[in-house]
């Protein structure tokens, strides 16, 4: 079964040069991929992730360390909980899948758990694809009605012309041949519900796995020997119940997240196209002098927004640069969208106080009216109030 195409030798060498000599590549996981898809216009993140640069180390070298990521305590707690959920051949996990997603199927008294051990991510990806193919063909040819549990399979997804290797917590093959992604998280599920923000993040991450599984399913049926397997768009989220260490589960529909993520990933600029625009000798090795490293990072355009603070290790550095340049994106994407062609705070203030801008532009008119109302309230000199026929101050932005 063919795997996603890998970067050519020239591109791999170029990405290694960007990363720095003898600097190991950091794998791009589903969480980072979901964050990348949420901000497809950020070429800086795209090239750094594509080259395997450790952004946390890079941020520290730039003097803007980030507290992004989980603590060692949280990681240990998560690993302990996952081990409990998967104990006894995944009996409890399969029971939850059966209860929440497929109650009409035969009860999972036992399941096949194939060995997915292989050398390197490419080997593990191929081994996972073979295990999924074998499970699918067994059901298509013999009508077998058993369950199959893939523990930490490896999937590949083409991202901007370069493969990203992804490792979901588990994938379950149902007796009818359907494939389901399982996400195991350590945040609690209280009275049957969990923190909506954390559930949303888990859903976006699971949507990436669903996209990768769909690519496996498409390649599996290219020869037409068997009908295409169904990739379930409802994933199983498993969390600790209340304040215990007992597992509770909920089915989460990720169709919306899958559609948004797929569309955003398709909009990403190809890695080689970004690399070709960089100055010769650009390198992001963390041991470089700070001035040289800063110049290298600044040579790649970024699209900072406050949402980056919860998703990117370089957010503090980019925020400082965005504020220094007066970019309105530092105020939020919604503010940026309302301001149209006004891209800096200086432009906004100049338009609001009548020093620039077309008075017939609704954005400029709204800003001037807002500035005049503010001046009137504070009894300070400002531009005159616009005539009544101009747009109302609803949605206006003022300082």
Picking from 241, 264, 287, the residue at the C-terminal end of a domain is 264
Domain assignment present for residue 41? The answer is yes
The secondary structure of 243-281 as a DSSP string is: TSS-EEEEEEE-HHHHHHHHHHHHHSPPHHHHHHTSPTT
Which pLDDT band holds residue 167 (cuts at 50, 70, 90)?
Answer: very high
Residues 100, 218: one domain? yes
Q: Do the bridges between strand 155-159 and strand 179-184 make them parallel or antiparallel, or are there none, so unpaired?
A: unpaired
pLDDT, one tens digit per residue, over 254-291 is 999 999 888 888 777 778 888 889 988 899 999 999 99
Assess whether pLDDT exceeds 60 at residue 395.
no
**pTM for this entry:** 0.73
pLDDT(2) > 50: no
- Looking at residue 393, what is its pLDDT? 42
- What is the per-residue pLDDT across 38-91, written as a single tens digit (0 to 9) for each? 787 889 998 898 888 999 999 999 998 876 666 677 788 888 999 999 999 899
In a domain, 209, yes or no: yes
Q: What is the pLDDT of residue 214?
A: 93
Span 149-173, average pLDDT: 89
Same domain for 240 and 198?
yes
Residue 1 counted as domain residue:
no
182 against 332, higher pLDDT: 182
Does residue 256 sit in the same domain as residue 273?
no
The pLDDT of residue 308 is above 90: no
How far is it, in rounded angstroms, from Cα 330 to Cα 324?
A: 10
Residues 40 and 119 in one domain: no
Q: Which two tokens stand for residue 363?
A: 């954005």
Give the pLDDT band of residue 387 (cuts 50, 70, 90).
very low
The mean per-residue pLDDT over the stretch 329-346 comes to 83
Residue 157 covered by a domain? yes
Q: Is 154 exposed, middle or buried (0-12, 13-18, 19+ CB in 10 A)?
A: buried
Based on the fold, state whether residues 255 and 199 are members of the same structural domain: yes
SS3 89: helix
Nearest to 98 by CA among 175, 183, 210: 175
Which among 73, 55, 75 has a CA at the least distance from the CA of 65?
A: 55
Question: Is 4 within a domain?
Answer: no
If you average pLDDT over residues 143-172, what whole number do you get? Answer: 87
206 with 309, same domain: the answer is no
Per the listing, tokens 């969208």 go with 337
User: Is residue 322 included in any domain, yes or no?
Assistant: yes
The 10 Å CB-count burial string (b at 16+, else e) for 286-317 is beeeeeebbebbeebebbbbeebeebbbbbbb
CB-count exposure of residue 178 (10 Å: 0-12, 13-18, 19+): middle
Higher-confidence residue of 1 and 143: namely 143
Q: Write down the pLDDT at residue 397.
A: 43
pLDDT digits (tens, 9 = 90+) for 94-147: 999 999 999 998 888 888 999 999 998 999 999 999 999 988 888 776 666 689
Domain count, the chain: 3
Q: Looking at the structure, tell me whether residues 342 and 382 fall in a common domain.
A: yes
Q: Considering the domain boundaries, does residue 368 fall inside one?
A: yes
Reported as type and span, the H/E element at residue 235 is: strand 234-240
pLDDT at residue 338 in the model: 83
Do residue 132 and residue 194 come from a single domain? yes
Structural domain boundaries enclosing 161: 72-264
User: Do 126 and 183 belong together in one domain?
Assistant: yes
Percent of the chain residues past pLDDT 70, beyond the cut? 89
Confidence of residue 223 (pLDDT cuts 50, 70, 90): low
Task: Examine the domain organization and report whether 46 and 182 are in the same domain.
Answer: no
Looking at 264, 283, 302, which one is the last position of a domain? 264
| 178 and 86 together in one domain | yes
304, 326, 348 - which closes a domain: 326
272/361 same-domain check: no
**pLDDT given at position 70:** 63
With cut-offs at 50, 70 and 90, classify the pLDDT of residue 8.
low
Within 13 Å and on the Cβ side, how many CA atoms surround 292?
9
* Alpha carbons 148 and 111: distance in angstroms, whole number: 5
Q: What would the pLDDT profile of 355-386 be if each residue is shown by its tens digit?
A: 888 788 888 888 888 888 888 888 876 554 44
- pLDDT of 179 strictly over 80: yes
Mean pLDDT of 218-231: 76
Q: Is residue 3 part of a domain?
A: no
């Amino acid at each position: 079964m063919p795997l996603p195409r890998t970067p050519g030798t020239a591109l791999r060498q170029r990405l290694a040069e960007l990363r720095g000599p003898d600097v190991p590549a950091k794998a791009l996981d589903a969480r980072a991929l979901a964050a990348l898809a949420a901000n497809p216009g950020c070429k800086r993140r795209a090239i750094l992730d594509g080259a395997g640069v450790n952004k946390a180390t890079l941020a520290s070298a730039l003097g803007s360390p980030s507290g992004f990521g989980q603590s060692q305590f949280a990681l240990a707690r998560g690993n302990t909980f996952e081990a409990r959920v998967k104990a006894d051949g995944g009996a409890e996990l399969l029971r939850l899948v059966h209860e929440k997603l497929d109650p009409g199927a035969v009860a999972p008294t036992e399941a096949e758990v194939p060995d997915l051990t292989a050398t390197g991510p490419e080997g593990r990806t191929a081994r996972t694809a073979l295990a999924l193919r074998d499970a699918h063909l067994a059901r298509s040819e013999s009508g077998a009605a058993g369950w199959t549990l893939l523990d930490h399979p490896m999937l590949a997804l083409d991202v901007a012309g370069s493969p990203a290797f992804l490792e979901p917590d588990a994938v379950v093959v149902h007796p009818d041949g359907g494939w389901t992604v399982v996400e195991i998280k350590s945040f609690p599920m209280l009275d049957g519900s969990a923190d909506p923000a954390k559930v949303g993040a888990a859903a976006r991450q699971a949507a990436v796995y669903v996209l990768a599984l769909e690519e496996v399913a498409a390649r599996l049926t290219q020869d037409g020997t068997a009908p295409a397997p169904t990739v379930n768009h409802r994933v199983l989220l498993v969390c600790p119940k209340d304040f215990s260490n007992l597992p509770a589960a909920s089915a989460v529909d990720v169709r919306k997240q899958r559609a948004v993520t797929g569309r955003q990933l398709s909009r990403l600029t190809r890695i080689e196209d970004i690399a070709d625009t960089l100055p010769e000798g650009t390198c992001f090795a963390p041991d470089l002098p700070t001035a040289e490293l800063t110049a290298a990072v600044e040579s790649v355009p970024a699209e900072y927004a406050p949402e980056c603070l919860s998703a990117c290790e370089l957010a503090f550095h980019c925020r400082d640069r965005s504020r220094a340049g007066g970019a309105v994106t530092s105020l939020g994407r919604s503010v940026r969208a309302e301001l149209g062609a006004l891209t800096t705070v200086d432009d906004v203030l100049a338009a609001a106080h009548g020093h620039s801008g077309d008075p017939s532009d609704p954005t400029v008119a709204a800003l001037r009216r807002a500035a005049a109302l503010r001046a009137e309230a504070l009894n300070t000199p400002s531009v005159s109030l616009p005539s009544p026929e101009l747009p109302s101050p609803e949605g206006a932005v003022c300082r």
